[in-house]
Amino acid sequence: MNAPAVGTCYKQQGSDAALALGHKLVAGEIRQQRMDAWRAACLQNPQGILCCARGGQRSHIVQRWLHEAGIDYPLVDGGYKALRQTAIQATIELSQKPIVLIGGCTGSGKTLLVQQQPNGVDLEGLARHRGSAFGRTLQPQLSQASFENLLAAEMLKTDARQDLHLWVLEDESRMIGSNHLPECLRERMTQAAIAVVEDPFEIRLERLNEEYFLRMHHDFTPCVRRRTGLAGVLRVPASRTFGD
């Protein structure tokens, strides 16, 4: 649908005219295509919710059309804007609980230790980045807002699963790749107690070899082949030699 045209119509002629224009633009085959896609999405995601920018006419109309097609699907009052404010407020409130940080040298298994704690939140996993110079993964990092929303959702889920008294987090700098920690959480982390993990150099080296060479080589090689074809395959042995 031509949203700018509908918005201009709304400003110049009012709600009724904009609504009529919207129905005109999304009619016939276009409406059927949209309905088929929405119906499939609803059936594939039965726990989902409808959401537009501000919870206005768009999401309500789609909900009504789905209801007429026999699908009752909930929507978010206030839309994405309300969700975003809820996420920000939840992070502020949940960050007030005590925090214990897991620190130590690279290769000490800090991330795995956090993942094993029932009250642990894997910040690097949420950021899709290992937090180091070579920390990129195959998954692109999310936008800053999406990262913060995902963090809030994870904290809410973890808090709801148990009688949570404190958080266990990895000792991170402000930036994890291109994402930065919310200021409210980062401020609390600077005041937190730190448990330092100490492993012998040989164990750390073995773990780094597994994470940064063997596993990354296994994950990246198929992508190189798909992306660059034969030329990429010919260059792979060089990286394998370096990794060894």
168-183 per-position pLDDT tens digit: 999 999 999 999 999 9
How deeply is 103 buried, as exposed, middle or buried, from its count of CB atoms within 10 A (0-12, 13-18, 19+)? middle
Distance CA 145, CA 97 (A): 22
Please say if 52 is a catalytic residue. Answer: yes
pLDDT at residue number 225: 64
- Whether residue 104 has pLDDT greater than 60: yes
105-135 tens-digit pLDDT? 888 999 999 999 999 999 999 999 988 777 7
Catalytic residue among 9, 42, 51, 52: 52
Helical spans, DSSP H, in the chain: 3-13, 15-25, 28-44, 57-68, 79-94, 110-115, 123-127, 144-161, 183-189, 201-208, 215-228, 230-243
Which pLDDT does position 11 carry in this prediction? 79
Rounded to a whole number of angstroms, the distance between the first and last alpha carbons of the chain is 54
pLDDT value, residue 152: 97
User: In 10 A of CB 219, how many CB atoms?
Assistant: 11
Q: Taking CA 100 as the corner, what is the angle to CA 99 and CA 101, rounded to the nearest 5 degrees?
A: 115
Q: At what angle do helices 215-228 and 230-243 cross, to 10 degrees?
A: 160
Q: What pLDDT, on a 0 to 100 scale, did the predictor assign at position 232? A: 52
State residue 21's pLDDT score: 79
Query: Nearest 5 degrees, angle CA 159-CA 183-CA 190?
Result: 85
pLDDT in the model for residue 229: 57
Per-residue model confidence (pLDDT) at position 1 = 56
Q: Where are the domains of the chain?
A: 3-77, 83-222
Could you read off the pLDDT of 37-91 as tens digits, one per residue? 999 999 999 888 888 888 777 888 889 999 999 999 999 889 999 999 999 999 9
- 8-state DSSP, 51: -
pLDDT tier for residue 241 given thresholds of 50, 70 and 90: very low
